[in-house]
Structure 1
Amino acid sequence: MQTSNSSTLKAIAIFDIDGVIRDVGQSYRRALADTVEQFTQGAYRPTQADIDQLKGEGIWNNDWEGSQEMVYRYFEGQGTPRDRLSLDFEEIVAFFQSRYRGTDPVNWNGYITTEPILVNPAYLESLTQAGIGWGFFSGATRGSAEYILTRRLGLQNPILIAMEDAPGKPDPTGLFATLNQISSDPSIPVLYLGDTVADMYTIDKARLEYPSRQWIGVGILPPHVHTPEERRQAYTQTLKEAGATVVYSNIEELTPAEISRLIEVR
């Protein structure tokens, strides 16, 4: 259950999924690297740091578009303008999905099947018991998001706004849509937990549209930046510069008590 009585909610926590609920370092990111390598004819395979740099621009939340952009930039670096390339976006998507979802459209057998889970369902129940509503706003496809939330985490009918339901981040439309499914009370503080610059920009744009509401951006360090310490610190700083009020290594560090502390600080 994702909400208590909406009139008694103390706060609402909205979660991104990739890098927050599941580790996508060897799934989405691996599929992205595979795709760039495929469409550069094996000449370039981006590293995790390369992908972080792209996502640090705050506008490449969609990994299909990110893959295409990295292919364009590789060839531009080789002296070929992008308007002279004949990239087929649908082919890029199909190849990416063949790696991420796999080759069987019914019983998925790709990288998604082995994604480590970063949260225990008991944590979400603890939020409910503390009077904190929760839901999910993700740039992942609905199929991918529901796979992890229902099949892997065992959630029943989770509140979810996915790629097909709203414009991509940092547009806050999907965040508002998620909130509206939880409570219509505009006085309830909102925390959005994400692992990218685009996630933090999303909460900032929400604050600009509804400045009377308390909005708190919570950065989560995805597993691939936990070590070495220099990388961890650099990624933490990037999220804070993008608007994160606080940064944690795992979402379960955002306990009900910590949420109470954060919403009391203005």
Structure 2
Amino acid sequence: MAVPSFGLGTFRLQGQVVIDSVRTALELGYRAVDTAQIYQNEAEVGQAIAESGVAREEIYLTTKIWVENYSKHTLIDSLHHSLRKLRSDYVDLTLIHWPAPGNGVAVAEYMQALAEAKAAGLTREIGISNFNIALTREAIAAVGREHIATNQIELSPYLQNPTLVSFLQEQQIPVTSYMTLAYGKVLQDPLIQAIAARIPATPAQVVLAWALRKGYAVIPSSTQRNHLASNLLAPQLALSDSDMALIDSLERKGREVSPEGLAAEWDD
């Protein structure tokens, strides 16, 4: 199954806040949820899903393996632990969260461990997150291009990563955009606000529609029901070629996330 084009992100949401966000999103019709071991909210996400009344098989659930669990001796055990928290026998997608090139575990080792997890039925798809071109090539060499369901990377109108995106598209590796709204910064951009006022739409809908038209999957998060509902309408918004070009012009290489020791050297 392909990664859904629209899902719910849960980064920085914990406790009752994430339970309410996931529960509300599922009520509204979201059917993809993205979490991670390091978010420390897998148990709450699992609770919200279990109590939602939506059948597990209708939900595309993603988690990400954290750096300390990359060794072939620990990765699968850590995924079992995540599954217990998520109250599920499997996840639909498991990603390596950051390449962490200096942590002493080779790309081939953790990608092959991921492939073993897939073969064991613990995850239906596997992929990567925050990988540059060189490390994506290593991942491809380890497990094969066709087994990499996505590379989840930071992408927004302020950070468009053209070199990396072009490479991923050439390799037919789907792109998932996170931080698509750049912590909300792009929502305050006068150009985005002008387009939104003219259509009319919300600034968030405009930015999400821009990313979707480029072929990226998106996983915006929100704690507010009206924003969750509004964001869900973004796939129905058709931007003109001129609007797309205007938004493309906002590139400023405005990276929001690049933790030392976890990120590799970026391509753009």
TM-score computed with the length of structure 2 as normaliser:
0.29
Higher relative contact order structure (alpha carbons within 8 Å, sequence separation ≥ 6): 1
TM-score computed with the length of structure 1 as normaliser:
0.29
